[in-house]
Amino acid sequence: MAIRRDKAFGGGENTWYRLQAAYDLDQTMKQADQIKVKRISTVA
């Protein structure tokens, strides 16, 4: 998708990729308290 945006609007595919990644992370962080993960303990 970043390549398509770059071809359509310019600005560089890396810029579009970083913008999308930042948006996705922001949206996920808004719901972070709903994510349940069991911590894996390390072996000493």
Q: For the chain, which residues make up each domain, given as ranges?
A: 2-30
CB burial string 3-39: b at 16+ within 10 A, e below: eebbeeeeeeeeebeeeeeeeeeeeeeeeeeeeeeee
Mind listing the pLDDT tens digit for each residue in 29-44?
999 999 999 999 988 7
For 3-28, what is the mean pLDDT? 96
The model's pTM: 0.70
Kindly indicate the confidence band of residue 3, based on its pLDDT and cuts at 50, 70 and 90. Answer: very high
